[in-house]
Structure 1
Amino acid sequence: MSAAATLKGLRPLAWMHAAVLAAGLLAGAPAACQVRASAASPLVVMADGRLMAPDIARIIEHGELVVAMFKTDSPPFFVERNGVLSGIDVDLARLIGKELGVAVRFDRSSATVDGVVDMVGSGRADLAISRLGRTVKRSQIVLFSTPYLMLGHAMLINRLRMAEMSGDRPVAQVVRTFKGRIGVIANTSWEEYGRRHFPQATIVTFPDWPAVVDAVRRGQVAAAYRDELEVRAVLQRDPGLALTLRTVTFNDAQSALSVMTGVRDTSLLAFVNEVIASRTDKPSVSAALTLIK
């Protein structure tokens, strides 16, 4: 029986599906076939007959979800121990992959946090999940999901440097009009946050968080600026530092940790938002703090 005879009499969409299957069998096409459902619809017809948005169909066709993640561990969000990757962000990525029905491949080749965002913006990864905060700069190249965790901003302050700066003024007043040196991690959202929230301060960048903490401990900078989770964890790990350092948390400034997608992947973004909203094991700051070693 000829292909034409086989397809005869089928309804338009069924005919298209059958034609796609026939072409796939002849040409060895992948499981998903990027064929438009109709001229009026942006949806594509999958090999099993499902209609799907093209950005999601692309992932199904490839058979994997590529997730960009920073190469340096950041527990409890992502950390590799004995060859096993785990953490809050890892769990979320795997949940999204599970809902899509595909495997998850983590690409940790980026040497900077901003580089992770660039990977998605340039189409080298489907998602960026890497303890990423939303910023004005990043909004120009990616789309943000709804937040999966909100972290308050905080400072780790050198007591001696603060006393020199404050005089008789309350600490809260000094912090709000901070004119000293503030240490942040280079190529992260904290550079942008620091310049926006403390325009009179001098923002000093360091390669990683331990270097920032060491700088404030030695008085090289008056304060270190990051989220409340990491700032609180410094004194949790080493209570003896409380003799020289103190913490200040800001109730009116928060970092919204979000998943990031390419600017054209609007259906994928909606899918990610639905996965985040439907989670039963939503992370919290208090729970995350207990996981930091």
Structure 2
Amino acid sequence: MCSFVLRIISVCLSLTIFFTAGPAWAAENLFIQRIQERGVLTVGLPAYNTPPAYYLNETSGDLEGYDIDIARGLAKELKVDIQFDRSSPDLNELVRRVGAGDFDLAIGKLGRTYDRMFDAFPVHYLDFRHALMANRSFISTLSEEPGSPEFAAVLEASTIRIGSIEKTIWEAETRDNFPNATFQGFPDWLAAQQALFDGEVDAIYRDMTEIKRLVYASPDLIIDYVPILFDDIVDQKSIYLSLDGSINFSPFIEFYISKEWGEVKTDSTILEEYMSFYSAT
């Protein structure tokens, strides 16, 4: 009888050890489990700053912005630390690298193109309309004026010289939306702006928030340059993942976006939420 009781106690102790061994957070989702075992969420981020989405606060030395908040929020829900990788030379390479598994996700107001979807898998979280800042002297050479029902078609068919950041979606978007245009890439957005002011290009191309920022910062720009908004051309800004991440991590991100971010936000929503930032630039 005593031996039988001891055997029962031994079995019970074994079961207790079996069911309680290992970390309390162990997940059945192996992609998430690997992140938790590592103790850090690795995030690919562009090398340059694009406030208020992502930028280095020169005073504190900390990364800030709404993309940074999303990444940190995901890490918090995973109960891990976060590590940002800003070593990618351009945005296309950033997307390629996350597709290859160099980090868990890539974020940074990344647009969606067919070429990028060859390399990685997007999770949609922003809708930003396209916009140009164009030289009025070029616009005056067109057969239609801004506001005319035919203006968009005439502009799109023109031989306009368009500048933006090199190796980003804007080269592909120029090719798709302005088939007769010439695209010139620049190392950063400031260089593209300077090219417009120097007459090297007729317009610069990016999303509406970036063109609006120029007007907020220098209202006198509209004397010589005209902002042009395309309501019907919308960029689906996305967080990018590898195949493994898309299968196993995208539901987690989508749930976080719907629960904490609230919705797929528009450029108008971002401008409204960050108006104090834009009006201060």
- The two structures share one fold, judged by TM-score above 0.5: yes
Matched, 1:218 2:204: no
**Partner residue in 1 for 2:212:** 232
Tell me the SS of whatever aligns to 1:153. Answer: strand
Counterpart Cα distance in 2 of 1:120 and 1:201:
31
Q: Percent identity?
A: 30
Deviation per residue, 1:267-293 (Å, 9 max, x gap): 211100110011256662322454232
State the shift of 1:115 in Å.
Answer: 2.1
Residue 288 to residue 188, structure 1, CA distance change in 2 (3 Å) = farther
1:119 aligns with one of 97, 117, 123: 97
Residue 132 to residue 71, structure 1, CA distance change in 2 (3 Å) = same
1:193 aligns with one of 166, 170, 173: 173
Asked if 1 retains the 8 angstrom alpha-carbon contact of 2:41 and 2:80, the reply is yes
State the shift of 1:130 in Å.
Answer: 1.0
Asked if 1 retains the 8 angstrom alpha-carbon contact of 2:26 and 2:33, the reply is no
1:109 partner letter: S
2:121 aligns with one of 143, 166, 171: 143
Counterpart Cα distance in 1 of 2:243 and 2:171:
23
Residue 55 to residue 240, structure 1, CA distance change in 2 (3 Å) = same
State the shift of 1:205 in Å.
Answer: 1.1
Deviation per residue, 1:71-106 (Å, 9 max, x gap): 111100111122111101000000111111111111
Which structure 2 residue ranges, 5 or more long, are not aligned? Answer: 1-7
**Partner residue in 2 for 1:268:** 249
State the shift of 1:112 in Å.
Answer: 1.2
Counterpart Cα distance in 2 of 1:109 and 1:144:
20
State the shift of 1:173 in Å.
Answer: 3.4
Moved more, 203-212 or 174-183: 174-183
Tell me the SS of whatever aligns to 2:222. Answer: helix
Aligned pair count? 261
Tell me the SS of whatever aligns to 2:51. Answer: coil
Residue 280 to residue 89, structure 1, CA distance change in 2 (3 Å) = closer
1:285 aligns with one of 257, 270, 274: 270
Which is richer in helix? 2
Deviation per residue, 1:144-199 (Å, 9 max, x gap): 1132x2110001110001212x0456433322323221112101111111111111
2:39 partner letter: G
Q: How does 1:44-55 map to 2 (within 5 A)?
A: 47-48=23-24, 50-55=26-31
Counterpart Cα distance in 2 of 1:7 and 1:61:
30
**Partner residue in 1 for 2:130:** 153
1:208 aligns with one of 188, 191, 196: 188
Which structure 1 residue ranges, 5 or more long, are not aligned? Answer: 22-45
State the shift of 1:7 in Å.
Answer: 8.0
Residue 20 to residue 142, structure 1, CA distance change in 2 (3 Å) = farther
Tell me the SS of whatever aligns to 1:258. Answer: strand
| Higher RCO, 1 vs 2 (CA within 8 Å, ≥6 residues apart) | 2
State the shift of 1:252 in Å.
Answer: 0.8
State the shift of 1:209 in Å.
Answer: 0.9
Matched, 1:75 2:51: yes
Asked if 1 retains the 8 angstrom alpha-carbon contact of 2:133 and 2:211, the reply is yes
1:130 aligns with one of 108, 121, 143: 108
